[in-house]
Amino acid sequence: MKEYTAFDIGGSYIKYGMVTEQGELREQDKMKTPDSLDVLMQHITDIVHRHPDSAGIAVSAPGAVADEGVIYGISALSYLHGPNIKHRLEEKTGLPVFMENDGNCAGAAELWKGTAKGKQDVLTVVIGTGIGGSVIKEGQTHKGASLHGGEFGFMLLGNPDTGRLESWSQLAATRALTRYAEAEKEIEPDTLTGEQVFEWADEGDPACVKALDRFYRFLALGLYNLQYIYDPELILLGGGVSARKELVQRINKKLDELMREAPVGTIRPTLDVCHFRQHANLLGAVYRFMQQTEAANR
């Protein structure tokens, strides 16, 4: 059975593991995201060399990932944009490399063996350092004219505190959550992690409880808008926060509040979490790799 070395490049962590052609994830781990492309390339190369039987490298990455291996657009990792990363990895490892946008990878995993299997119109929303996602239209990934299909994090919302427009990523990604908690606790920026905020909120810390309440409200606002833009059968939530058992319940509670405040819409989003949760991007990258290989061999 073939195995692939899969990487999920995020703004805070790089997740990696071995994925079989049957969708089994083995030896998964993560590391801090490095500060430069050269260090990232070396980390990936070192991991690949520890698995000499790998059939190829599947990479989930932020941004508008083109087939030739260049990542357009913007993301939390500016050094990813410009170089042909696919070609550089192939030269360093001697293995075939496939790259896809992280949100599209999450959607592909769910179409393959997850919660979206058998469905036609689904949105996946991946919540991490930023917010990405994918649009599944008639059972296929819809990338869009500029490869920006599913870049939900660029949606603009009003920030009632500042009176300014801010992107959904600025208001509802995990970095926003830590920023809210740091402001409430009056501590220096970049002091907390998302995991700490969740943990302290579970213990009753009032500042973290308040920060989470704000975080869930902005998530609900964006999801409400997406429902009326695309009207999907289902919206799936991915990323690290999808491992939180109360996530859907808390967002649904905020949706109830929003729909009472502004009773103009009667259709509420149907929410669920990605079946593969925080590992969806790894599996989806491999599935898309296999799809591409199969199509090329026809």
Percent of the chain with pLDDT over 70: 100
Q: What is the DSSP letter of 15?
A: E
Domains located in the chain, CATH noted:
3-100+278-297 (3.30.420.40), 115-274 (3.30.420.40)
pLDDT tens by residue, 137-159: 998 889 888 888 889 999 999 99
Packed helices 194-202 and 174-185: angle between N→C axes, nearest 10 degrees: 60
pLDDT tens by residue, 208-241: 999 999 999 999 999 999 999 999 999 999 888 9
The count of C-alpha atoms lying within 13 angstroms of the C-alpha of 188, restricted to the half-sphere facing its C-beta, is 2
Q: Report the alpha-carbon distance of residue 253 to residue 147 in Å, rounded.
A: 33
Assess contact for 151 and 140: CB atoms under 8 A.
Answer: no
Sign of the torsion formed by the C-alpha atoms of 97, 100, 105 and 108: negative
Contacts 24+ apart (CB under 8 A), 48-51: 48/5, 48/93, 48/95, 49/93, 51/3, 51/5, 51/18
pTM for the predicted model, two decimal places:
0.78
Q: Any residues with CB less than 8 A from the CB of 2 and at least 6 apart, and which?
A: 20, 21, 55
Q: How far is the first Cα of the chain from the last one, in angstroms, to the nearest whole number?
A: 21
Q: Report the alpha-carbon distance of residue 30 to residue 47 in Å, rounded.
A: 11
Round the average pLDDT of the chain to a whole number and report it.
93
Confidence label for 37 from pLDDT (cuts 50, 70 and 90): very high
User: What is the structure's pLDDT at 227?
Assistant: 97
Q: Report the alpha-carbon distance of residue 184 to residue 98 in Å, rounded.
A: 43
Tokens of 79: 């050094």
Q: Report the alpha-carbon distance of residue 45 to residue 4 in Å, rounded.
A: 14
Mean pLDDT over residues 2-13, rounded?
Answer: 94
Task: Identify the residue with better confidence: 60 or 1.
Answer: 60
Mean pLDDT over residues 269-296, rounded?
Answer: 89
Mean pLDDT over residues 24-37, rounded?
Answer: 94
User: What is the structure's pLDDT at 280?
Assistant: 85
User: What is the structure's pLDDT at 30?
Assistant: 95
